[in-house]
A = this chain, B = another copy of it.
């Protein structure tokens, strides 16, 4: 049996069908038996959905005990009616669970600008809170209930030790299946039974998001509803982690980062209309920030993405895209490698084009998992990022009528 959210101590969940989406589960509830340290990272988009506004308020004290997510309606650009809807979701959860409504985080995903179906969702919450369960199938239900056009559920589970205590950590995510317009929301939720102070958790979550969810790209756009939330309820019994120097903190931090990278990569590999998964790596940069900016710019470039689709070892586009990142770097020092997961071939040495077997390269680029490695030869920092290619299918999917 697959381990999931329900294998984290003190966590119960449920995923139900309320009717907002015609055929699939569309309401997810996650509950911790005890108040948990909570941290979250929200969309940087200036247009922010109502549930994001509410969750930002509720998480300020670094505590939460429940998360409710509806799929099918984004509750964005919905005005006062939407604001009341998000509030009603938190209130219904709080009443049914007998907790303060500030302990409830709310998230939504789906169509933008449609009236929010508050009554159906509140009814669904009241009906389904009583079904909260720690059985494995409940974990599968909740992973599926947050999906929109995703073609598979995205889950992860890991066990590790902190200072001699066994820690469980589980995560779910949804990504940007792009067939249906306005549904590019990225959501990620991770629960763990480690004991950690809210401030340290928030700092650790922010760092991990920067290395994972913030390093993937399908469209280059962030949505109105993006959110990554983490609950850590302390049921594992370890001494509360308060500082980065505490024993076991590094292990927690690494596992959180790996979990987020795992979920982020699953999101990229489910990008509708994409045919390839591309891992980008920048090594030997002066700073990690520089490496990340270069990777983001390269993986976001339409020209680079189209070249990946066409199996075209077009190093000129990659260097040109890197040049658009707005950070000075010396391309006459740069080495560049292209290839697949299995093998990389150097195409640039100190900024100069190298000879290589073009037919062999073409065969390599037929793989569905491609790799691009940029060696800046200027320092010791590195970063990775993940992206899709730009395909004719992508354009077809994204040009269909909303009407």
Contacts and interface: CB of A to CB of B under 8 A. Distances in A.
A112 B347 CA distance: 14
Interface in A284-334: 301-303, 306-307, 309-317, 319-329, 331-332
Contact of A313 (B45, B309, B323, B402): B402
A113 interface: yes
Contacts of A181: 303, 307, 312, 314, 316-317
Given A353-B113, A395-B306, A399-B307, A224 B79 contact: no
A46 B316 contact: no
Contact of A303 (B77, B184, B307, B325): B184
Interface residues of A, number: 65
A223 interface: yes
A79 B351 contact: yes
A401 B400 CA distance: 29
Contacts of A44: 324, 326
Contacts of A48: 323
A326 B46 contact: yes
Contact of A398 (B223, B303, B361): B303
From A303, A311, A392, name the one whose CB has the most chain B CB atoms within 10 angstroms. A303
A391 interface: yes
Nearest to A218: B302
A324 B47 CA distance: 8
A22 interface: no
Given A79-B332, A181-B312, A221 B321 contact: yes
Given A307-B181, A326-B46, A401-B311, A112 B395 contact: no
Contact of A77 (B327, B351, B401): B351
Given A301-B221, A316-B112, A317-B181, A323 B46 contact: yes
A212 to B, nearest CB: 20
A222 B353 contact: no
13 contacts: A45-B323, A45-B324, A46-B325, A46-B326, A48-B323, A113-B316, A221-B324, A223-B320, A307-B399, A311-B401, A361-B403, A362-B403, A392-B395
